[in-house]
């Protein structure tokens, strides 16, 4: 049966009902609207899982095709940088969820602080990434056509170029999501400081938080597959 209770007398505006200003006209309660928004965000996250998943699948299948080249190629990746980035993102997930908690409990200024901390972590992530990329450029470890590293064991094989093609594609797409996240989180922080969020309405913080955790989750898989596999 229907899962929502609906007040039949809450018709179009002007019937004496006081609506939360954030409530859209086709919803009958804020709870219904919040639950629906969450479902919408999870559906979007599922599409992200499948998008990145497609890249993971491609990487896995190419690894199966060029096992020696891929293992040799991954030696060029800097494990320490990757591990640091993993830790940085996990911490950013922590600050994110604290921000949601603060927004939910009417502590806008605190939420803004945690959001800025999340942005800072993301910034550190991108800096380490830039440092790693720079190292790759110097060594000629570039995608596809641009690969010009010397001294590979399996001479003339395409496997190395393919590895780095996938490396740049996946870390690049992930990095793009980090950048987008930084912009969204900064916007949220400004709004939180302004007092836009409260226990009655904190949906944007919650939803963008979910997005941020997904970004973290993608890295959780990316790191071992690229940096740690023997």
Q: Which of residues 99-158 bind another protein (CB under 8 A)?
A: 101-102, 104-105, 143-146, 157-158
Q: How far is the CB of 172 from another protein (least distance, A)?
A: 10
Among 19, 72, 78, 91, binds another protein (CB under 8 A): 91
DSSP 33-75: HHHHHHHHHHHHHHHHHHHHHHHHHHHHHHHHH-HHHHHHHHT
Q: Which stretch binds another protein (CB under 8 A): 83-91, 116-124, 132-140, 181-189?
A: 83-91
Radius of gyration of the chain from its Cα atoms, rounded to whole angstroms: 22
Of the pair 83, 190, the CB lying nearest another protein is at 83
Of the pair 105, 134, the CB lying nearest another protein is at 105
Nearest to 92 by CA among 219, 229, 196: 219
Q: Compute how many residues bind another protein; rule: CB under 8 A.
A: 91
Of the pair 107, 126, the CB lying nearest another protein is at 107
The secondary structure of 64-85, three-state, reads HHCHHHHHHHHCCCCHHHHHHH
Q: How far is the CB of 193 from another protein (least distance, A)?
A: 19
Reduced to 3 states (helix: H, G, I; strand: E, B; else coil), residue 201 is: strand
Q: How far is the CB of 207 from another protein (least distance, A)?
A: 11
Among 159, 175, 181, 204, binds another protein (CB under 8 A): 159
Q: Do residues 124 and 88 touch, judged by C-beta distance below 8 A?
A: yes
Within residues 171-230, the interface with another protein by CB under 8 A covers 199-203, 209-210, 213, 216-217, 220-221, 223-225, 227-230
Q: How far is the CB of 189 from another protein (least distance, A)?
A: 19
Q: Do residues 194 and 28 touch, judged by C-beta distance below 8 A?
A: no
Q: How far is the CB of 202 from another protein (least distance, A)?
A: 8
DSSP 143-167: SGGG------SSTT-SHHHHHHHHH
Q: In this structure, what token pair is assigned to residue 171?
A: 């870390």
Within residues 20-59, the interface with another protein by CB under 8 A covers 20, 24-27, 30-32, 34-36, 38-40, 42-51, 53-58
């Amino acid at each position: 049966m229907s899962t929502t209770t609906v007040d039949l007398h809450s018709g179009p505006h002007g019937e004496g009902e006081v609506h939360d200003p954030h409530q859209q006209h086709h919803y009958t309660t804020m709870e219904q609207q919040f639950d629906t928004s969450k479902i919408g965000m999870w559906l979007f996250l599922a599409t992200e899982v499948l998008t990145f998943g497609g890249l993971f699948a491609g990487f896995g299948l190419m690894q199966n095709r060029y096992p020696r080249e891929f293992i040799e190629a991954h030696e060029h990746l800097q494990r320490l940088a990757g591990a640091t980035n993993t830790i940085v993102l996990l911490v950013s997930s922590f600050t994110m969820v604290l921000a949601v908690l603060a927004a939910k409990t009417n502590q806008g200024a605190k939420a803004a602080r945690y959001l800025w901390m999340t942005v800072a972590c993301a910034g550190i992530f991108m800096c380490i990434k830039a440092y790693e990329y720079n190292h790759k450029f110097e060594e000629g470890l570039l995608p596809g056509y641009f690969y010009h590293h010397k001294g590979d064991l399996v001479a003339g094989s395409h496997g190395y170029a393919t590895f780095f093609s996938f490396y740049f594609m996946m870390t690049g797409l992930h990095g793009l999501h980090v950048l987008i996240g930084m912009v969204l989180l900064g916007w949220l922080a400004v709004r939180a400081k302004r007092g836009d969020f409260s226990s009655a309405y904190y949906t944007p913080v919650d939803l963008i938080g979910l997005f941020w955790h997904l970004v973290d989750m993608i890295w959780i898989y990316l790191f071992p597959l690229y940096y740690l596999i023997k």
